[in-house]
Amino acid sequence: MEIVAPSTEQLLADFESKINAEIKIEPRDWMPEEYRQNLIRQMSQHAHSEVIGMQPEGNWITRAPSLRSKKILLAKIQDEGGHGLYLYSAAETLGVSREQFIQALHEGKAKYASVFNYPALNWADMGAIGWLVDGAAITNQVSLQRTSYGPYSRAMVKICKEESFHQRQGYEIMWRMMEGTKDQQQMAQDALNRWWWPALMMFGPHDSDSPHSTLAMKWKIKRESNDQLREKFINKTIPQAELIGLKVPDQNLQLLEDETYKHGDINWDEFWAVVKGNGPCNQQRLEHHIRAHKEGAWVRETAIASAKKHNI
Amino acid sequence: MEAQKKYYLQLADNALILSHRLSEYSSHGPFLEEDLANTNVALDLIGIAESILEQTAKIDGKGLTGDDLAYRRGEHEFYNCLLVEQPNTDFAFIMVRQFLTDAFHFYFYSELTKSKDKFLSAIAFKSLKEITYHLRRSSEWLIRLGDGTQLANDKTQHAVNTLWKYSNEFFTENEVDIEMKKSGVGVDLKEVKSLWSQKVNEIFFMAHLKIPENDFQLTGGKQGNHTEYMGYILTEMQFLPSKYPDAKW
Ligand SMILES: [Fe+2]
Ligand SMILES: [Fe+2]
């Protein structure tokens, strides 16, 4: 019997029928190169975001105002690093190593979530980041639990549980501050003012301007569009703000007849400026990561040398 | 009562201040796994500090909380040893500081499980699992650092040479240590010291590290006299409660 290798057309047809039947694509399955590249881009960006996101929160660990809040913040940051590890491993199933991912980050070829290029200026920022940034991330990630690539989907299921915990903790900080002194209330409102728009921008450009979206939706890497997810987030979050007496900084916000909200114009010039590297902390965040990596080189080298000696 | 309270604070402050130093190191680790392991130790230590501070506040009976003790005491009222407040100069300093402290904690808390004080024996018992892991981790790292590359050995030996002068304070008995030992609450530091020395010699031998020939020692932390670093640690740690004394967080 003669075995004939299937044609690319046949492989693609099989691949797409799996996608249509909601069967997950696994690392050893055939996949179009564009699908692989799309996933490498998205998953590594996601992993880098978890890791770079440790920095703005890390900025307040040593100034956390109580033992409990310090413990919670340490544990939260540790969770985020854990998500990073988990996502790097999931992304490595696509044939790229962690060292390569980090190199791409350092060379500016790989991105991370732009929201982490904003500064964390007061303690309420620890609340706003958990509540809004983790909140926006979950909205996106809940949807990604159904993504078509198996390792990514499973990573999302695991990560989502912790993210929703982070969101509640963040909201609790905001709530406590709004219950507190005038100074605390001002800090909370100030933090919301600064994080609201960057959080909305986390969902990316409007669907009409989103370059990677079409194919990603077709192959079910993405399951819901940027605008759909953004609306979900807004409708969930505004009532939470109002409940504790915070005011969302959007003068053109409208409450529609169906009880949903329509937000005012997003400043896309700012969005693209930050994406291109010109945000308040882009340089600081990336240089910090590069410096720590460089300073750690001798430690990684001695660990390898010692493992070789002892045959571990 | 006062002696008991001070004894509690000595234990709590070592854990609290070392945890603080480790927490400064978040996002600075040589690779992600180690960054997280470091935070993990910081978390364990702040957990120990929190339990002891809350109990201290309770037996003190003045309506204070554990947070008041952490965030509203002045520098002279902190009784941690000088070693734990030393800065994160580099990974070798962090690990040498950690190993010397972990080894102390391990043998100290092992002894403390036999304390007549129910609270202390319980916290010692509970913490030992974590501390055992800390000691294993820092021992392994010391060997990797000392017995890997020449550069790492040099850096680690330099850290040992710098930090060694703070290592004996753990075992330097003050009045409180003596009183607590007599009443069966505290532990015999001489015994802890001899076990600690054995462990240090063993790991230093495997790591090709040497104890400095000049064995002069500095102390003072246990009496509230600290190094210059301590003021900065507290300024940062206590910033919010100091600036907003009426706020609840
Ligand atoms: Fe995360
Ligand atoms: Fe999170």
- Out of B23, B30, B35, closest to residue A62 by CB: B23
CATH number at residue B133: 1.20.1260.10
Q: Does B46 touch chain A (CB under 8 A)?
A: yes
**In chain A, which residues have their Cβ closer than 8 Å to the Cβ of B246?**
181
Does the residue B116 lie in any domain? yes
| pLDDT one-digit tens code per residue, A192-201 | 999 999 999 9
CA distance B30 to chain A (A): 4
A212 pLDDT band, cuts 50/70/90, is: low
- The residues whose Cβ lies within 5 A of ligand 1, an ion, are A 50, 80, 83
pLDDT exceeding 90 applies to what percent of chain A?
Answer: 90
Which domain, by its residues, includes B194?
2-243
Does the residue B70 lie in any domain? yes
Question: Three-state DSSP class for B105?
Answer: helix
Q: For residue A211, is pLDDT > 80?
A: no
CA distance B172 to chain A (A): 29
Q: Say what the pLDDT of residue B1 is.
A: 65
Contact between B148 and A309 using a beta-carbon 8 Å cutoff: yes
Does the residue A3 lie in any domain? no
Does the residue A251 lie in any domain? yes
Tokens standing for A111?
Answer: 């991105």
The CA distance from B152 to B146, in Å, is 6
Contact between A300 and B31 using a beta-carbon 8 Å cutoff: yes
Tokens standing for A256?
Answer: 């529609």
Q: Which residue of B24, B31, B154, B232 is the best one to mutate when testing the A interface, meaning the one whose CB has the most A CBs within 10 A? A: B31
Question: Three-state DSSP class for B97?
Answer: helix
CA distance A187 to chain B (A): 12
pLDDT exceeding 70 applies to what percent of chain A?
Answer: 99
Q: Residue A296, Cα to own-chain centre: how many angstroms? A: 25
Q: For residue B212, is pLDDT > 90?
A: yes
Q: Say what the pLDDT of residue A310 is.
A: 79
Interface of B with A in 60-119 (CB under 8 A): 66-67, 70-71, 90-91
Which domain, by its residues, includes A268?
8-309
Q: For residue A217, is pLDDT > 90?
A: no
Q: How many CB atoms lie within 10 A of CB B245?
A: 10
Q: For residue B67, is pLDDT > 80?
A: yes
Q: Say what the pLDDT of residue A18 is.
A: 96
A215 pLDDT band, cuts 50/70/90, is: confident
Contact between B152 and A301 using a beta-carbon 8 Å cutoff: yes
Does the residue B211 lie in any domain? yes
- Out of B28, B50, B91, closest to residue A67 by CB: B50
| pLDDT one-digit tens code per residue, A9-40 | 999 999 999 999 999 999 999 999 999 999 99
Contact between A184 and B247 using a beta-carbon 8 Å cutoff: yes
Contact criterion met (CB below 8 Å) for B46 and A75: no
- CA dihedral angle for residue B40, residue B46, residue B47, residue B53, rounded to 10 degrees: 170
**∠ CA A269-A271-A277, rounded to 5°:** 105
CA distance A73 to chain B (A): 10
A223 pLDDT band, cuts 50/70/90, is: confident
Q: How many CB atoms lie within 10 A of CB A247?
A: 12
| pLDDT one-digit tens code per residue, B99-115 | 999 999 999 999 999 99
Residue A102 Cα, ligand 2 centroid: separation in angstroms? Answer: 21
Q: Say what the pLDDT of residue A221 is.
A: 87
End-to-end CA distance of chain A: 48
The CA distance from B84 to B102, in Å, is 11
The CA distance from B120 to B113, in Å, is 7
**In chain A, which residues have their Cβ closer than 8 Å to the Cβ of B26?**
54, 58, 61, 74, 77
Q: How many CB atoms lie within 10 A of CB A82?
A: 17
Does the residue A186 lie in any domain? yes
Q: For residue A210, is pLDDT > 80?
A: no
Closest-CA residue to B118 (of B185, B27, B205, B48): B185
A202: region left, alpha or beta (phi > 0 left; psi from -120 to 50 alpha): alpha
Q: How many CB atoms lie within 10 A of CB B118?
A: 8
Q: Does B137 touch chain A (CB under 8 A)?
A: no
Residue with tokens 């504790």: A244
| pLDDT one-digit tens code per residue, B11-38 | 999 999 999 999 999 999 999 999 999 9
> B233 Cβ partners below 8 Å, 6+ apart?
B17, B20, B21, B85
Q: Which residue of B18, B23, B26, B98 is the best one to mutate when testing the A interface, meaning the one whose CB has the most A CBs within 10 A? A: B26
Average pLDDT, chain A: 95
Q: How many CB atoms lie within 10 A of CB B117?
A: 19
Does the residue A1 lie in any domain? no
> B200 Cβ partners below 8 Å, 6+ apart?
B99, B100, B103, B211
Question: Three-state DSSP class for B246?
Answer: coil
DSSP string of chain A, one letter each residue:
----PPPHHHHHHHHHHHHHTTPPB-TTS---HHHHHHHHHHHHHHHHHHHHTHHHHHTTGGG-SSHHHHHHHHHHHHHHHHHHHHHHHHHHTTT--HHHHHHHHHTTSS---GGGGS---STHHHHHIIIIIIHHHHHHHHHHTT-SBHHHHHHHHHHHHHHHHHHHHHHHHHHHHHTS-HHHHHHHHHHHHHHHHHHHHTT-S-GGG-TTHHHHHHTTSS-S-HHHHHHHHHHHHHHHHHHTT---S-TT-EE-TTS-EE-----HHHHHHHHTT-SSSHHHHHHHHHHHHHHTHHHHHHHHHHHHHTT-
Q: Say what the pLDDT of residue A312 is.
A: 62
Residue B156 Cα, ligand 1 centroid: separation in angstroms? Answer: 34
3-state per-residue secondary structure call for B45-95 = HHHHHHHHHHHHHHHHCCCCCHHHHHHCCCHHHCCCCHHHHCCCCCHHHHH
Q: For residue A155, is pLDDT > 80?
A: yes
CATH number at residue A146: 1.20.1260.10
A220: region left, alpha or beta (phi > 0 left; psi from -120 to 50 alpha): left
Check: complex ipTM more than 0.90: yes
Q: How many residues does this entry show for chain B? A: 249
Does the residue A26 lie in any domain? yes
Does the residue B50 lie in any domain? yes
If one counts the domains in chain A, the total is 1
Q: How many CB atoms lie within 10 A of CB B248?
A: 14
Q: For residue A4, is pLDDT > 90?
A: no
| pLDDT one-digit tens code per residue, B137-164 | 999 999 999 999 999 999 999 999 999 9
A311 pLDDT band, cuts 50/70/90, is: confident
Average pLDDT, chain B: 97
The one-letter amino acid code at B128 reads: L
Q: Does B173 touch chain A (CB under 8 A)?
A: no
**In chain B, which residues have their Cβ closer than 8 Å to the Cβ of A284?**
none
Does the residue A129 lie in any domain? yes
If one counts the domains in chain B, the total is 1
Q: How many CB atoms lie within 10 A of CB B175?
A: 10
| pLDDT one-digit tens code per residue, A254-281 | 999 999 999 999 999 999 999 999 999 9
What number of CA atoms fall less than 13 Å from residue B220's CA on the CB side? Answer: 12
End-to-end CA distance of chain B: 30
**In chain B, which residues have their Cβ closer than 8 Å to the Cβ of A88?**
32
From residue A102, how far is each of A53, A92, B27 by CA, in Å? Answer: 15, 12, 14
Q: For residue A1, is pLDDT > 80?
A: no
The H-or-E segment that residue B13 falls in is helix B2-24
CA distance A163 to chain B (A): 17
Does the residue A102 lie in any domain? yes
Q: How many CB atoms lie within 10 A of CB A137?
A: 27
